[in-house]
Amino acid sequence: MKSIEDMKDKMLKADAVLIGIGKELSFEQIEKNPEEYIKHFYLEKNDRLYEMLEKKENKTEDEKYIFQILKEKAKLEYSSQKVYEKLSQLLQDKNYFVITTNTDGIIFQSDLEKDRIVAPCGDIHRLQCKKGCSDELLNTKEVYENIINQYKEKGTVSKFNCSHCGQELMFNVRNNETIQTYREEGYLKQWEVYTKWLSKTLNQKLLILEIGENLEQPNLIRWPFEKVAFFNLKSYFVRVNQSLYQIEKEIAGRGEGIKCNGVHFLNCELEKTML
């Protein structure tokens, strides 16, 4: 595909690269059979608890709770290194920044530099009070491991609640259901790093690469990226999407849309340019 060859060339020549990662690169889209992944995850660890609970038909409430915790813990440790491998190689030694609206946190398990990634919608690696009563954020993996270990050792379940109000905990993620209680402390510091980085790219050759972003929260990636492309006359904008690949006519001369699924783009199309 010539346009992808052109994109690679522009990336190599760019002073900076701005990347947006959307839903087409979420866990559910990358891992087509999540149940099989979870089974394999625990088999590799020689942990039979998940298999035992999966086979049990009439689970108690505690068993249902632990079973769900085990599923979520496996997702926490999902490695996306292979998915982002080609992109990481192309970005090696480049000045880049990544913004993602995905909340599964798997991009942080890739080879991309963590201090060059911001996730304004949060991610499942942190827990917060369901009511949002405090700014305290807990490490999800640590909490889950404590719950699972207690169940293995004592056969009992202690659910972690907010230490301030006693309310249940939830993932520190922003969606339609949590928009009123979502605590932003988890990403704000990194957001400042991102906006400072972005301000320095105004007069630079900037490649803007948006991959798999939909229209659920266009104010975070789609619209801001179009605005950056419009004002930075040295920029070039590439939008990769299975269906929403069109770009605004105002930047058509300095950008293009590529009709391609985000996962396929990273796994196959980028690979062709590196052969």
Contact 207/11 with Cβ under 8 angstroms?
yes
Give the integer Cα–Cα distance in Å for 92 and 115.
14
Closest CA to 123 of 76, 176, 193: 76
Percent over 90 (pLDDT), the chain: 77
pLDDT tens per residue across span 60-85: 999 999 999 999 999 999 987 788 88
Domains along the chain with CATH numbers:
2-31+79-121+182-272 (3.40.50.1220), 32-77+124-173 (no CATH)
**What are the angstrom distances between the C-alpha of 267 and each of 5, 17, 94, 272?**
15, 19, 20, 9
pLDDT above 60: residue 191: yes
Predicted confidence band at 5 (pLDDT cuts at 50, 70, 90)?
confident
Task: Give tens-digit pLDDT for 195-222.
Answer: 999 999 999 999 999 999 999 999 999 9
Sequence letter at residue 171: F
Render pLDDT for 140-182 as a digit per residue (tens, 0 to 9).
999 999 999 999 999 999 888 999 999 999 999 999 899 999 9
Contact 127, 73 (CB under 8 A): no
- Write out pLDDT tens, residues 12-52: 899 999 999 999 999 989 988 889 999 999 999 999 999 99
The radius of gyration computed from the CA coordinates of the chain, to the nearest angstrom, equals 21
What's the pLDDT score for residue 3? Answer: 62
Q: What is the pLDDT of residue 158?
A: 86
Q: What is the mean pLDDT of the chain?
A: 92
Residue from 20, 24, 55 nearest 262 by CA:
24
**H-run or E-run covering 262:** helix 262-264
pTM assigned to the model: 0.91
